[in-house]
Structure 1
Amino acid sequence: MKLLLGVALLCWTADMARSMTITTTEGMFEKAKGETVHLPCKFTIAPEDQEPLHIEWIKSPADNQKADQEIILYSGGNIYDIYSEDLKGRVYFTSSDPKLGDASINITNLQLSDVGTYQCKVKKLPGVANKKMQLSVLVKPSGTRCYIDGSSEIGSDFKIRCESGEGSLPLYYEWQKLPNTEKFPAVSFSDLNPSIISVRNATTEYSGTYSCTVKNRVGVDQCLLRVNVVPPSNTAGTIAGAVIGTLCALLLLGLLIFCCCKKHKEEKYEKEVHHDIREDVPPPKSRTSTARSYIGSNHSSLGSMSPSNIEGYSKAQYNQVPSEDFDRTPQSPSFQPTKVAASNLSRMGAIPVMIPAQSKDGSIV
Structure 2
Amino acid sequence: MGPLGPRGPLTLLLLPLLGGLVGLTRCLRILPPDASRIEKAKGDSVHLPCKYTLATEDEGPLDIEWVLSLPDNLKVDQMIIFYSGGRIFANYYKDMSGRVHFTDSDPQSGDASINVTNLQLSDIGTYQCKVKKAPGVHSSKIQLSVLVKPTGTRCFVEGSQEIGRDFKMRCESPEASGPLEYEWQRLPSSERFPSPWLAEMTSSVINVKNATQEYSGTYRCVVRNRVGSDECLLRLDVVPPSNTAGTIAGAIIGTLLALLLLGLLIFCCCKKRKEEKYEKEVQHDIREDVPPPKSRTSTSRSYVGSNHSSLGSMSPSNMEGYSKAQYNQVPSEDFEPPSPKPAFQLSKVAAPNLSRMGAVPVMIPAQSKDGSIV
TM-score bin, normalised by smaller chain? 0.7 to 0.9
2:26 alignment counterpart: 18
278, 282, 289: which one pairs with 2:290?
Answer: 282
CA distance in 2, matches of 1:219, 1:17: 42
Q: Letter of the aligned partner of 1:137 in structure 2?
A: V
| Structure 1 residue 67: Cα displacement | 0.8
User: Contact 1:23/1:43 (CA < 8 Å) preserved in 2?
Assistant: yes
Task: Give SS of 1:86's match.
Answer: helix
CA distance in 1, matches of 2:122, 2:303: 120
1:95 aligns with 2:113: no
Q: Letter of the aligned partner of 1:24 in structure 2?
A: P
Shift in alpha-carbon separation, 1:343–1:216, aligned structure 2, 3 A? farther
| Structure 1 residue 81: Cα displacement | 0.6
User: Contact 1:189/1:196 (CA < 8 Å) preserved in 2?
Assistant: no
Normalised by the size of structure 2, how large is the TM-score? 0.71
CA distance in 1, matches of 2:17, 2:291: 136
1:137 alignment counterpart: 146
1:159 alignment counterpart: 168
Shift in alpha-carbon separation, 1:280–1:121, aligned structure 2, 3 A? closer
Structure 1: stretches of 5+ with no match in the other structure: 310-328, 350-365
Tell me the number of residue pairs that the alignment of Structure 1 and Structure 2 aligns.
316
| Structure 1 residue 47: Cα displacement | 1.4
1:48-85 deviation per Cα after TM superposition (whole angstroms, max 9, x unaligned): 21122111111111111111121111112111111110
Greater CA drift, 171-180 or 8-17: 8-17
User: Contact 2:183/2:223 (CA < 8 Å) preserved in 1?
Assistant: yes
Task: Give SS of 1:347's match.
Answer: coil
1:56 aligns with 2:79: no
Q: Larger Cα Rg: Structure 1 or Structure 2? A: 2
Shift in alpha-carbon separation, 1:149–1:252, aligned structure 2, 3 A? same
CA distance in 2, matches of 1:45, 1:298: 150
322, 347, 350: which one pairs with 2:370?
Answer: 347
Q: Letter of the aligned partner of 1:347 in structure 2?
A: D
User: Contact 1:32/1:218 (CA < 8 Å) preserved in 2?
Assistant: yes
| Structure 1 residue 126: Cα displacement | 1.4
251, 256, 264: which one pairs with 1:242?
Answer: 251
Structure 2: stretches of 5+ with no match in the other structure: 1-11, 314-330, 344-363
28, 43, 54: which one pairs with 2:52?
Answer: 43
CA-based RMSD of the aligned residues comes to 4.1
1:331 aligns with 2:340: no
1:233 alignment counterpart: 242
| Structure 1 residue 345: Cα displacement | 7.5
1:185 aligns with 2:189: no
CA distance in 2, matches of 1:98, 1:110: 23
CA distance in 2, matches of 1:258, 1:67: 73
Greater CA drift, 216-225 or 18-27: 18-27
1:197 alignment counterpart: 206
| Structure 1 residue 100: Cα displacement | 1.1
User: Contact 1:24/1:43 (CA < 8 Å) preserved in 2?
Assistant: no
Normalised by the size of structure 1, how large is the TM-score? 0.73
User: Contact 1:122/1:129 (CA < 8 Å) preserved in 2?
Assistant: yes
